[in-house]
């Protein structure tokens, strides 16, 4: 769906941090921490730019949440180039209301889907870039595979996929379950899951994808990887 006019509570003179704090009064499910709300969103865009995002690229933001990072990326991209998927419609709509100033959606023409099956076919376009912040730290391996399959199916040759994850260790084992762990549209219980980089490499290689672990890239203690078609 395409968003056009929307109800906004935004004071345009407020910083994005202040807007995030106002949002937090309505819902604590905001897609990123509140203490560094503005810095976290900006850091996501900076990482995307460092790893090849161009203003003319079509980007799919998987789990765009309340637009903590999406706000920044949408402003950077050309009109019609930002696409988001978020199943938690309440969090998303409140984010739009509290973060997005009037006129931005009309100018940037973003599109959004609200399904939890990682089905990206509804947009009907081929993407140049996938992004998923703090999604692989909650999703089971079968969902990671769906995202990788979607990346192969719905992107142009040379596309990139920047995503974060957490490695297992002695006291936090590799996640072998098949359900989402943590807050979402169906749960308000916090949680984190971990996936081994070796498994990620195998999942990528089996699909003809290459992957690299990005040294020095961390947001909220999560490691970042860049997957290439």
pLDDT at 107 over 70: yes
pLDDT level of residue 194 (50, 70, 90 thresholds): very high
At 185 the pLDDT is 62
Which range marks the domain in which residue 38 is found? 16-228
Cβ neighbours of residue 53 under 8 Å, at least 6 residues apart? 59, 73, 76, 129, 160
Is residue 4 in some structural domain?
A: no
Is residue 195 in some structural domain?
A: yes
At 144 the pLDDT is 97
pLDDT level of residue 4 (50, 70, 90 thresholds): very low
**pLDDT tens digits along 8-19:** 778 888 999 999
Is residue 1 in some structural domain?
A: no
pLDDT at 30 over 80: no
E strand spans, the chain: 59-62, 82-85, 111-113, 127-132, 155-165, 210-219, 222-228
**Percent share of the chain, pLDDT over 90:** 69
**pLDDT tens digits along 128-176:** 999 999 999 999 999 999 999 999 999 999 999 999 999 998 889 999 9
Is residue 23 in some structural domain?
A: yes
Is residue 8 in some structural domain?
A: no
pLDDT at 85 over 70: yes
pLDDT at 22 over 50: yes
Is residue 2 in some structural domain?
A: no
214-221 average pLDDT score: 82
Is residue 178 in some structural domain?
A: yes
61-70 average pLDDT score: 94
**Percent share of the chain, pLDDT over 70:** 94
44-55 average pLDDT score: 97
pLDDT at 214 over 80: yes
At 5 the pLDDT is 45
Please tell me the total count of domains within the chain.
1
Cβ neighbours of residue 120 under 8 Å, at least 6 residues apart? 60, 85, 113, 127, 150, 153, 154
CA–CA distance, 222 with 136 (Å, rounded to integer): 10
Is pLDDT larger for residue 158 or for residue 91? 158
pLDDT level of residue 186 (50, 70, 90 thresholds): low
At 210 the pLDDT is 98
Is residue 7 in some structural domain?
A: no
Q: Does the model's pTM come out above 0.85?
A: yes
pLDDT at 209 over 90: yes
At 129 the pLDDT is 98
The CATH number of the domain holding residue 161 is: 3.40.50.150
Q: How high does pLDDT run on average in the chain?
A: 91
């Amino acid at each position: 769906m395409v968003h056009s006019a929307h109800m906004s509570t935004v004071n345009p003179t407020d910083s994005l941090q202040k807007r995030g704090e106002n949002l937090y009064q309505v819902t604590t499910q905001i897609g990123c921490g509140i203490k560094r709300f503005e810095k976290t969103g900006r850091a996501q865009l900076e990482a995307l730019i460092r790893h090849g995002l161009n203003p003319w690229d079509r980007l799919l933001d998987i789990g765009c949440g309340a637009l903590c990072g999406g706000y920044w990326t949408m402003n950077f991209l050309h009109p019609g180039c930002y696409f988001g998927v978020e199943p938690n419609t309440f969090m998303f709509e409140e984010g739009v209301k509290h973060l997005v100033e009037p006129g931005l959606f009309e100018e940037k023409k973003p599109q959004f889907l609200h399904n939890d099956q990682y089905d990206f076919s509804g947009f009907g376009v081929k993407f140049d870039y996938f992004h998923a912040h703090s999604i692989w730290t909650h999703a089971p391996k079968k969902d990671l595979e769906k995202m990788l399959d979607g990346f192969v199916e719905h992107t142009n040759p040379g596309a990139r996929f920047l995503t974060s994850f957490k490695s297992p260790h002695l006291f936090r084992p590799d996640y072998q379950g098949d359900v989402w762990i943590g807050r979402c549209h169906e749960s308000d219980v916090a949680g984190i899951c971990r996936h081994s980089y070796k498994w990620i490499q195998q999942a990528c290689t089996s699909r003809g994808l290459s992957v690299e672990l990005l040294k020095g890239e961390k947001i909220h203690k999560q490691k970042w990887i860049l997957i290439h078609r």
